[in-house]
Structure 1
Amino acid sequence: MTTNGFSQISTASLNGVVKDPTGAAIPNATVTLRNLDTNVARTAVSNGDGLYAIVSILPGRYTLEASANGFGAQKIASFTLAVGQTATYDFALSVGVQNTVVTVQGAAPQLDVTSSNLGTVMATKQVNDLPLNGRNFTQLLQLTPGVVPINTGQSNGNGGGFAGPATVQGSSFTFPAINGQTNRSNFYFTDGLMNYGSLLSTYAVPPIIDAIQEFKIVSHTDDASTGSVLGGVVNVVSKSGTNSLHGALWEYIRNNAFDAQEDFTSVPAFRQNQFGVAGGGPVFFPKLYNGKNKTFFYGAYQGLRYTRQNDTGILVPTAAQLAGDESSFGSQIYNPFSTTPDPAHPGEYLRQPFQGNQIPSNLIDQRMVAWAQFVFPQAGAKNPVNGDNAIDPTPVAQTQNEWTARIDQTIGSNSSAWFRYSEIHSTTTQSGGVPGLVTSTTTPGTNWGGSFVYTFNPSLIVQVEAGHTNVQHNGETRWGKSIAGIFSQVGFSSDFAGNFNANNGGNLLPSPGISGYANGGESVQNQPKVTDSTQVSGTVTKIIGDHELHIGGGYISNSFATPIGYASLGFFAEQTGDPEDFTTSPGDPLSSFILNVPNQANRRNVNETTRPGGVLSGYVQDTWKALPKLTLNIGLRYDVTLIPAYGTNATIGENGGIETGDMDLDNGTYILQKVPPPCSVRGHAPCIPGDGTLPAHVVVDPRGKIAHNDYDNFGPRLGFAYRYDDKTVVRGGFGIVYDNWAAVSQMAQNIEGSWPDIGQLINNSLNIPSTTSATPNATAQDPFAGSTAGLFPAATPFQQVQWFYDPHIKNAYSEQWTLGVERQLSTSTTVGLNYVGSVGRRNDVGGYYNTALTPGPGDAQSRALYPYIAPTFYDRSIGSSSYHAAQFMLNRRMSNGLSYQVAYTWSKSMNVGGDGWFGVEGTVPQDPYNVAGFGSYAVSGTDLRNVLSVNTLYEIPVGKGRQFSTGNHLFDYALGNWQFNNIFTARSGQVYTPDTSTDVANTGNGFTYETLDVVGNPNKSKRTPAEWFNTAAYATPQNYTYGSAGRNSLRSNGFWNLDTSVFRQFPIHDNLTFEFRAEAFNIFNHPVFAPPDANINDATYGSVVWSNYPTGTVSTSRELQFAGRITF
């Protein structure tokens, strides 16, 4: 039986029945569990039904003994309890003298015969010994069935990025999708307390590998104590001290001399050193205090020093192109200034072509040419593989220091407590996108907490815990040369590219945003609270007969604060294409740039804050031993997300402050959460234009906040575990779980800077021909000149583009079930097979909304749902998903020098509308009014039909003290103490979508949303890196139609990789050992080509080498790492 609280996932539990030889229950039997490393003992007494339970057990090595008056004692020899394990052992005591002890060897419980949870434990030796590139524990997540290492979320593949966790540059980082859910639908604990980066839904402070005892992923659980996320709960347990002093010192070294060359790039100069120390033992102060058997400490420090000289290939404009010679472009370019209405086809437009694709010098804006010459290096020879014509040599450098400390205390015989503190500081500098533009990031973070357990009597236990997490992300992207001259020469308006509060009122040079080319601009984003959360929780466990009742709950708060400033532009093809035939002549982004005809503009000058919010949870759980072989788990959980209200009173009058609003596209209104004074009174935004009278369709929420909390998150749980025999268990379960955390923090701050503010300005439909103006009317210098009036907002809020959301948005939920069987093959080996399924409801669907109701010619906005409202980003909880999988697991714990795990998943994951949030995680529907139509109901972006992983640890059984000996001390020393370790992974290819960035359907959608038409067979008999699929099989759809290709309709080639390591230990004295490690990542240097660029408007269309994958692969070339370790 188990005690299940927030921290139960960080401990183990033990239960069983004490019986006499006839099978009758023995009441009042004493059961003693003793930790072999600390000598701390836990005692339970069986009740009238013979049932006993010991809960909140730290993972480790134990013995277990049962005794009763008139019976001989029985003892189980050394066995291991793992994190989250619920072990069951039934005693059958013989009649006899009580002090007679029968020791049972090899009887350690391996099967969980109590619950139907899906979970996999990574034990201490696996965590410490398996080859990990960058020593990041998340790489081990993919060794679990149901885990997909494909990331469609906004945290990038190396883990870092905006508001991401601090990881090692260039290391392997897994931000997984678990059992068909999104990358954001997971939660991370350390020692049962949240260690969670709430903005992007990943971990906050990375644990040091040598400080990890073990970790476990739990999903599809029948346990109501676990919830608030749809995917997996990942819990890392930190190491505790023991009665003996033990620890390690280490240094891991990598450099370019060890690495193989990428397929399309050279090996840059590279140095990486990871070093540290860890150790623990009893707290001891001579003559003052001896903590043996009761007080223990453990601490660790790790440092990183990383430098890499990059030679990244980039595409930049040539001198001839900047002079107007676009003859190398593959299709006809048109003059946007010649656009006129087509008299024969009302609502359509005509343009004149540039003869020979030569742009006359009088139409070229020399200010834009000067800007390009400032931003881009001189073009060189074109790379025949990927089209790059310049190199960005900006080096990457990273310094990281982190440490952790933990203390455990046994307080008498009835209580215990522990406390841990962890901290990290990481600083990184790298390219901002082009040579000379450098991004500098510092990421400090802390995570601390503790737990207290008190046993009132053997049937009543109380556990309370508390913790706190704080992470900052302070980033700046700056030019290394003065921008004053070019800023003035180009003529940027300070209303667009100046007066940034985060930059002390100064200017920031925008990013040019030429589609298909290298890009980069200045920005400042300093976050004192990217994650700031406090957790308090508790659990009461009561054993009544054959029922074990758990009642618990808690609250985890969350808040956010950051000043952000930047400006950017987007130049796309549409402005220089043929408006009557984008299929043949889609246009050229670079031509749009030198003509100064932008399509997109973005200005962000905000001081984002949220008021405290969080998640309040409560549950009741009954673990009922209904029959000797059958255990039922029945529970009910309730969660409510208290969505953080945007802005604080301290930000009144500031850009990005509390005086903002949100669009409600269910009824065509704009909702203000706080009304500012008239512009005539305040003199600057945020303010209400005119005399302060609110425009039509603008309302005020009397609650002073936008989002409405969702109070219907009741999640029933039901599961069973049937012990068919002593070595076989059949399990099944069903539950409803809610996504109470995913993207909530980010959604809450998405409306920052909205009308009547001007802190956030977005327009993705600039210079689109309309009845108002057929020719371009917006320039890069001040693209918002027509929508704002300097320091003041527009007259109404209805022409702004913002990351709006449905104010009545609901938490997604999933109905999940599992049915499986597990068999114990030996005392160390188990095999299991599970069917895992789920259906998701109320999933987020983002992207543009309030577009034209149907494709067609003419003014798109006049055909919109609300013609007076411009199309805008808008998130709604209307999506759905499904997942079905067969999952196989073969697991051998370390025994006789060998351990292995084999995990295989055969699955299909489908969804509607996208793979995450805000329309930027995965794809979006072509038609926002029919989110499942036009091929938008499809396999998800994280669908991998087959996933296989195998990990092994093998100690060569030769040498002194081993299974085999040569009989010669010298030979034994030479041949002994070797260990070989491997991680092999293989999986199906990743899906991708053939699309166009042009609004061919003419719905007013300013976001890439439309797929291509299928006109042939996309398969090629011979693929090349330059054309990975048959690009001629797709065409831009006919005007005013949606594409037929369908979302995620193509799949890249499969992936396989082998990482391996070899250890050699050199015993020095007693427990003092030096260990040499050699590790190889992708040892066979097997390239796995990336999903190609499938946007028909890009110059790299069809190529595997493009902006998302500069190396052309999703694998790295072979990398070697060497390490020296001293353990004691």
Structure 2
Amino acid sequence: MRKKLQAVPLFVLFAPIVLAQTAQVTGIVQDSSEAVVVGADVDINNVDRGVRYQVKTNELGYYTVPLLRPGNYRITIQAAGFKPVTRSNIVLETGQIVRIDFVLEVGAVAEAITVSESVPLLQSESSTHSQFIESKTVMDMPLSGRRVENLVTLAGNAMMATGGSRVVLAGGRGGFVNWIVDGGNSAPVLTEGLEFSQSPPVAELKEFRVMLNGYAAEYGQSESGVVTLVTKSGGNQFHGSAYEYLRNDKLDARTFFAAGKAPLRQNLFGFTGSGPIIRNRTFFFVSNEWQRVRRGTTSVLTVPTAAQRNGDFSQLTDAQGRSIAIYDPATSRPDPTRAGNTLRDPFPGNVIPSNRLDPVGAGLAALYPMPNRAAANLAGASNFSANPVSFANPQYLTIKGDHILREHDRIWVKYNRVHSPDGQHPMYPEPAADPSAFTRESTYSAVIGNWAHNFTPYLINELFVNYRYTTYRRGQLDLDAGWPERLGLKGVSNRAFPTVGLSGYAGLGWSVHEQVNPGVKDLQVGNGLNWFRGAHAVKIGGEIRGSSYATYYRQFMSGQLSFDTRPTALPGVAKTGNALASLLAGFPVSASILEQDFLDRRGRYYAMYVQDDWKVRPDLTLNIGMRWETLLPRWDANGRDSGFDTRTINPVSGTPGVVTFARRDGQGKSMFEGDYNNFGPRFGFAWRPFGQTLTVIRGAYGVFYGQPHSSTAGTAAGFAVDNTFTTPDNGITPAFWLREGFPATSREELGPGFGAVAAGQTPRFAPQFIEPNRRISYTHQWNLVVQRDVGWNTAVEIGYIGNAGHKLWQNATVSINQVPVSLMGPGNAQARRPFPQFNDVSMLFPAWGNSNYHSMNLKVEKRFSDGLNFLANYTFAKFIDDVGAIEGGRLARGPQNFYDRSAERALSGNDVRNRVVISSVYELPVGPGRRWLHGGIAGTIFGGWNLGGILTMQQGFPMGLVTQSNTTNAFTPGQQRVDILRDPTLPNSERTIVRWFDTGAVSAPAPYTLGNSGRAVLTGPGLANFDASLLKNHRIGESFNLQFRWESFNFTNHPNFSNLGNALGAANFGVLTATKPARVNQLGITFEF
């Protein structure tokens, strides 16, 4: 009994609730006649930490040791009457289930057998289709931005989405990969997509695994793949590093279309430290990293001249030098000779008298910078140039501790803090008036903890807690300086600078006065119980997550003003009027105030699962599981939420459609229903056919659920100061006179008639809502893979991977207030809309999409040995969907016709038919510890060199062709597509930068009709990129190393074209106008001990 109790804690090593953060070793012990050995002692020693784990083989001869921290292990098997066998150099990887069988020979204890053996390459115990990225690759590969996201795409069936900043895995949705760091989800419940918001620095990262298809039941919100990352921990030896990486525009190449290079100064520096506090018992790890980025741009704007800002427009001309007259809006009067026409008197000499200058308008005009360059034309355009500088100063702090409480209990705790201030410095003399200057700051804090407890050697519990707290603020510079009062602008908050837009001139004031998230909180609590019985390894668990998202959004709390030429023009006469003159006359054509009430959104997530890994035979393992999960309908703690009822008759207009409100008129606290039938079965197998050890066949099928778009702030109608004022007669009468200030208003009463106007009147409100029957998206996934060990630490794999997605949400707000196709035509289209009392009536990201994905992937992988590793993947795939995802490229917009969504089915915006990725790290066989020149000066000079490289080649993304101007007169939710006359694809030999496709093969649809083309009719430019790294390691004594590093991204400076003009009627239709980054070089130095 005492031996069993001593074995209890040896199952557990700081295990997170998510198994993929740890590893598991299993196997069978037999004698030379293939009879199982029952009760053999299994001793597993963590070489790095000096911690031992002991179990016994069960009645079937199996042993299983879960929850092992990735690292280097030694396994010893002993049984009475047999020679002890030891296998060393067993390096366990994140999320790995390793099978290591033993055959014992009859003999004495003194006849011990020791073998140095690496972990088998083949994945023989799990049906999950995944890719492990080892520490050597993480540290030595060229890595842009020093962030791990850029290495995920080394895996087959993985790529960056069209926009280039979000990962897409095996037909999943870009932006919805579930990133798990040390067992904790990386994003709160109430974010729109499982975004990887807090990427750990590379110096902190140990390794990671990309799970693409067929993962176990413990993984939730995982329809689009899972990436699990494990950060470093302390051991029995002290280790540390200090490093700095430098980027400078002088080291980079000019992009293909640019005349020069934008100024760049980027420094990334930090340190790590780890070691024992109490040997074999308590360990620590600390990491701190800073980044300093200064990026310049060139901005050319049009600003008023000194004379113009004083009201003198005597020199005002158009680009051809023709004079432009300005007229006095105060003299507006009906034309007695022509009904409906308006007359005005010109300002004498084209000068506004000083006593007619509006004091508010004149004060605003005075805040423009003076022209500092020659104008581009006679109209005075582009007469001001500046070089505004954006900045970013993030800091990443991590403190991690591991402790063995007693023999039954082990814990680890990690604290993270990421502070990220950024913004743009002003180019105007008065910072608050600058339209591009802003400040932004976020602080992310997280505490993650795990407690593992052994009840018996075969019953182990793990409790996991993850708490995150984020604050966020962005806004104008010089906030709370009292600008409205200083300008004399009345009727608005005195805190910010008003946002001013003038047609033909640069604006004033940044577009968001202030947004504050005082606290985005997320608590995740999970528990998993591991039970081992005979040939079964069972895990039963559950998870609860709660989230709150608090926000103040005061976009235009101090007012937004728009000015154009109409107030100072002679109605009906071209080339008259000027927007600055309208400002000086105090005549806005539109103005608005938007200051949202405090919103406090809440969400809850619940999940339960069971997983059984059943060894049916020594050569066959079944992975069987079931998961249930749900996200409760989001609600607001103060009831500040709204929806839309499409059937109820509106009391104002007498037509269907009313705005509804939470906790009013019988509505509950949430505006949409819950979705509770989310059961996800999982089934898979791993089979070594005919008992051989060099071949494994794996397959899996499962149902995996995602996360719905919860829209934290889009449905708050009625809970804001939200007033818009416009000229009622096309610039004859002002929205209000500027000197008089914004008109006083009162909030509209919440009720069925909210926001509506009587039939025939001009609507003033556009409701947004989440469909009441919102469902959680899900995918059916399947795979069949054959893997073969070909020797030389190399494995070859070929696999078929597929999925089918349903209830996928559209990456757009989709208006349901489209004129029916049968009623499309000229005239007043508003009266023909289903809800004529409103403008657009939009569903926020409706969950109605479908997709299917089929692929074949061929992989060759060599584990690092003899100084070399490589990973090569070729993926052939076809990806179809009918909705655009985040970063879905030119296909991410809403449907052309709300009433015919079947016409949206096409190649996905993230379909890539052929993709090849080859990566490798090679240590030159020269210098100490290597094959040649072990010592001396030659060994010092020529030794220690490492090479790394990543070659990526892929076909382009699909794209659609649309019209620049929508002529349907139907308020369609998406863009109007073109008519196809013939295939617009050109042969490669005929393609040029200015004519990528046959622009004559399409035409504009007739007015009031829809285009006949599909959502995807072309394939854009492909990608060919090679990143390289060169490292020099210089050993200093036995314990220190100095590394010099050079990395080059797009080393060959190959132009990878993007931004193909796809709007018929635009000047750039069919023209390539941009490229991905040119060659970028990065230098680094690291000191390690």
Query: Does TM, scored on the shorter chain, surpass 0.5?
Result: yes
Letter in 2 for 1:183: G
Give the 3 Å change call, closer, same or farther, for CA 392–31 of structure 1 in structure 2: farther
Question: In the TM superposition, what are the counterparts of 1:748-827 in structure 2 within 5 Å?
Answer: 748-752=712-716, 754-755=717-718, 757-759=719-721, 790-793=745-748, 796-798=754-756, 799=763, 800-826=765-791
2:632 is matched with which residue?
A: 642
Instruction: Tell me if the contact between 1:861 and 1:871 (Cα under 8 Å) persists in the aligned partners.
Output: no
Tell whether 2:618 aligns with 1:628.
Answer: yes
CA distance in 2, matches of 1:600, 1:49: 81
CA distance in 2, matches of 1:548, 1:1082: 47
CA distance in 1, matches of 2:591, 2:82: 82
1:61 equivalent among 65, 72, 80: 72
CA distance in 2, matches of 1:369, 1:1103: 42
Letter in 1 for 2:1042: F
1:1124 is matched with which residue?
A: 1085
Tell whether 2:899 aligns with 1:929.
Answer: yes
Instruction: Tell me if the contact between 1:805 and 1:874 (Cα under 8 Å) persists in the aligned partners.
Output: yes
Question: In the TM superposition, what are the counterparts of 1:700-711 in structure 2 within 5 Å?
Answer: 700-711=665-676
2:295 equivalent among 286, 289, 308: 308
2:829 equivalent among 849, 853, 860: 860
Shift of 1:525: 3.9
Tell whether 2:978 aligns with 1:1012.
Answer: yes
Tell whether 2:37 aligns with 1:26.
Answer: yes
Instruction: Tell me if the contact between 2:515 and 2:554 (Cα under 8 Å) persists in the aligned partners.
Output: no
CA distance in 1, matches of 2:98, 2:1002: 57
Q: Report Cα offsets for 1:514-565 as digits up to 9, x if no partner.
A: 7999997331344435642111101111122212211101112111112112
1:944 is matched with which residue?
A: 912
Instruction: Tell me if the contact between 2:162 and 2:887 (Cα under 8 Å) persists in the aligned partners.
Output: no
CA distance in 2, matches of 1:543, 1:564: 53
Tell whether 2:603 aligns with 1:613.
Answer: yes
Give the 3 Å change call, closer, same or farther, for CA 244–1011 of structure 1 in structure 2: same
Give the 3 Å change call, closer, same or farther, for CA 614–475 of structure 1 in structure 2: same
CA distance in 2, matches of 1:918, 1:260: 29
2:643 equivalent among 659, 662, 667: 662
2:346 is matched with which residue?
A: none
Tell whether 2:804 aligns with 1:839.
Answer: yes
Shift of 1:202: 1.4
TM-score, structure 1 length as denominator?
Answer: 0.80
Instruction: Tell me if the contact between 2:958 and 2:1020 (Cα under 8 Å) persists in the aligned partners.
Output: yes
Q: Report Cα offsets for 1:602-641 as digits up to 9, x if no partner.
A: 7642144334313111001111111221111111100010
2:1034 is matched with which residue?
A: 1066
Shift of 1:700: 2.5
Question: In the TM superposition, what are the counterparts of 1:107-256 in structure 2 within 5 Å?
Answer: 108-151=119-162, 174-196=165-187, 198-200=190-192, 201-256=194-249
CA distance in 2, matches of 1:806, 1:193: 30
Instruction: Tell me if the contact between 1:402 and 1:423 (Cα under 8 Å) persists in the aligned partners.
Output: yes
CA distance in 2, matches of 1:467, 1:321: 67
CA distance in 1, matches of 2:149, 2:1051: 20
Shift of 1:802: 3.8
CA distance in 2, matches of 1:877, 1:317: 48
Aligned length: 992
1:688 is matched with which residue?
A: none
CA distance in 2, matches of 1:177, 1:1084: 26
Tell whether 2:269 aligns with 1:275.
Answer: yes
Q: Report Cα offsets for 1:735-785 as digits up to 9, x if no partner.
A: 111113x532xx143212x03x3445799xx99xxxxx99689978799x9
CA distance in 1, matches of 2:912, 2:301: 31
CA distance in 2, matches of 1:458, 1:829: 36
Question: In the TM superposition, what are the counterparts of 1:515-554 in structure 2 within 5 Å?
Answer: 521-528=510-517, 531-554=520-543
Q: 5+ unaligned residues in a row in structure 1: which ranges?
A: 158-173, 284-290, 330-350, 353-359, 500-504, 577-586, 650-657, 676-698, 768-772, 1106-1111
Instruction: Tell me if the contact between 1:996 and 1:1095 (Cα under 8 Å) persists in the aligned partners.
Output: yes
Q: Which has the larger radius of gyration?
A: 2
Shift of 1:1069: 1.2
Tell whether 2:1075 aligns with 1:1113.
Answer: yes
Shift of 1:105: 3.1
CA distance in 2, matches of 1:380, 1:1028: 36
Shift of 1:111: 1.7
CA distance in 2, matches of 1:66, 1:433: 72
Q: Report Cα offsets for 1:658-691 as digits up to 9, x if no partner.
A: 344211336655454446xxxxxxxxxxxxxxxx
Q: 5+ unaligned residues in a row in structure 2: which ranges?
A: 1-10, 323-339, 342-348, 429-433, 568-573, 649-655, 757-762
Give the 3 Å change call, closer, same or farther, for CA 54–481 of structure 1 in structure 2: closer
Shift of 1:1031: 4.6
Tell whether 2:285 aligns with 1:298.
Answer: yes
CA distance in 2, matches of 1:917, 1:249: 36
Letter in 2 for 1:225: E
CA distance in 1, matches of 2:43, 2:497: 68
CA distance in 1, matches of 2:495, 2:712: 28
* Further displaced range: 406-415 or 424-433: 424-433
2:552 is matched with which residue?
A: 563
Instruction: Tell me if the contact between 2:891 and 2:1015 (Cα under 8 Å) persists in the aligned partners.
Output: no
Q: Report Cα offsets for 1:115-139 as digits up to 9, x if no partner.
A: 2112112211211121222211111
Instruction: Tell me if the contact between 1:113 and 1:723 (Cα under 8 Å) persists in the aligned partners.
Output: yes
Instruction: Tell me if the contact between 2:81 and 2:107 (Cα under 8 Å) persists in the aligned partners.
Output: yes
SS, match of residue 202 in structure 1: coil
Letter in 1 for 2:550: A
Instruction: Tell me if the contact between 1:108 and 1:827 (Cα under 8 Å) persists in the aligned partners.
Output: no
1:393 is matched with which residue?
A: 387
CA distance in 2, matches of 1:1066, 1:550: 47
CA distance in 1, matches of 2:601, 2:298: 44
Shift of 1:948: 2.1
CA distance in 1, matches of 2:544, 2:58: 34
Q: CA RMSD in A?
A: 4.2
Instruction: Tell me if the contact between 2:222 and 2:704 (Cα under 8 Å) persists in the aligned partners.
Output: yes
Q: Report Cα offsets for 1:993-1042 as digits up to 9, x if no partner.
A: 3324544111124x652223345664566656566555555444321111
SS, match of residue 1059 in structure 2: coil
SS, match of residue 83 in structure 2: strand
Letter in 1 for 2:416: S
CA distance in 1, matches of 2:999, 2:186: 45
Give the 3 Å change call, closer, same or farther, for CA 380–72 of structure 1 in structure 2: farther
CA distance in 2, matches of 1:455, 1:887: 41
Letter in 2 for 1:904: Y
SS, match of residue 973 in structure 1: helix
Q: Report Cα offsets for 1:820-867 as digits up to 9, x if no partner.
A: 111122363222222111111112234211211223233333333344
Instruction: Tell me if the contact between 2:891 and 2:909 (Cα under 8 Å) persists in the aligned partners.
Output: no
Instruction: Tell me if the contact between 1:1080 and 1:1121 (Cα under 8 Å) persists in the aligned partners.
Output: yes
Identity of aligned residues (%): 25
CA distance in 1, matches of 2:961, 2:592: 26
Q: Report Cα offsets for 1:417-444 as digits up to 9, x if no partner.
A: 2111111112112269996631211121
SS, match of residue 84 in structure 2: strand
2:860 is matched with which residue?
A: 890
Shift of 1:1098: 5.1
Give the 3 Å change call, closer, same or farther, for CA 315–815 of structure 1 in structure 2: farther
Letter in 2 for 1:182: R
CA distance in 1, matches of 2:248, 2:531: 57
Q: Report Cα offsets for 1:686-728 as digits up to 9, x if no partner.
A: xxxxxxxxxxxxx734422212221111111111111122111
Q: Report Cα offsets for 1:67-122 as digits up to 9, x if no partner.
A: 22222222212121110011111212122224532223335222221221121122
Give the 3 Å change call, closer, same or farther, for CA 480–991 of structure 1 in structure 2: farther
SS, match of residue 139 in structure 1: helix
Instruction: Tell me if the contact between 1:606 and 1:759 (Cα under 8 Å) persists in the aligned partners.
Output: yes
Question: In the TM superposition, what are the counterparts of 1:1034-1053 in structure 2 within 5 Å?
Answer: 1034-1053=1002-1021
CA distance in 1, matches of 2:227, 2:1019: 29
